[in-house]
Structure formats: C-alpha cells, structure tokens
Amino acid sequence: QRKLVESGGASVQAGGSLTLSCAVSGLPSRFYAWGWFRQGSGPEREAVAVIDNDGTIDYTHSVVGRFTISQDKVEDTLTLQMNDLKPEDTGTYYCAAGLGPKGSLFRLKVDGYQFWGQGTQVIVSS
C-alpha cells in the first residue's frame, strides 16, 4: 500500500526552527522524485523543496538558506529542516512523490507529483 505520512508540524515564533518528517511506504525511492509542498492562505499549493531521483535538489527561492531537504533511503523517510521561520512560512506542509527524474523544468511543478500525504500544519507567529 502506497502511503506517505507527515509529522512534526507545530506552532512556533518567528526565528524558530522545526523539523518535518515524512514516513514513506510502498513507493521504491529509486523511481521517484520527492518533495515538500505547502498550502498557505493563497489558492495554490507551492513547491518548497524537492529531491529528484538522480539526487538533484531544488528549493523555492524564498526558503533558500533556511530550509534543508534530506532523504534516508534505508529508513524510507523524507525530512525538511526549517530554520529562521517567518510568518509567511505558515501553512499546511505536504510530502509527495512523483515518477522521476523530472529535470530542472518540472522538478518544482506541483502537478508532476502523484502521491501525497495528508499534510501537517505549521504556524509561525510574529
């Protein structure tokens, strides 16, 4: 059974840190690109950080230098370390998998990811 389960969301003050984890089952890591996405107050879900199945990592511009994505292929977990959090980082964070490799043009495209977790809530207060 294909399953992604996020955890680690919480309420923090601006400048704080959180670590999000995603436990994966039923999806062999070598076939997929993996990513963290978020749904804020706006209508669209956006990519935050992704790892393509060739190991290439991309971040959306607003989190560069603050967030780090990593993957443990033995434990089948995907992690997002978030530092120096800002109120605009508030939202529901989802991990997702999509067949890869995606390449630079498609790696951060939301509609390229077929399998999604249920999300975990992050609230950053000023």
Predicted local confidence at residue 28, as pLDDT: 85
Q: How far apart are CA 94 and CA 41, in angstroms?
A: 15
Band of pLDDT at residue 91, cut at 50, 70 and 90: very high
Predicted local confidence at residue 3, as pLDDT: 93
Pairing of strands 57-59, 45-51: antiparallel
Q: How far apart are CA 59 and CA 28, in angstroms?
A: 23
Convert the pLDDT of each residue in 1-55 to its tens digit.
889 999 999 999 999 999 999 999 998 888 899 999 999 988 899 999 999 989 9
The region, left, alpha or beta by phi > 0 then psi within -120 to 50, assigned to residue 13 is: beta
Predicted local confidence at residue 123, as pLDDT: 98
Convert the pLDDT of each residue in 96-111 to its tens digit.
999 988 888 889 999 9
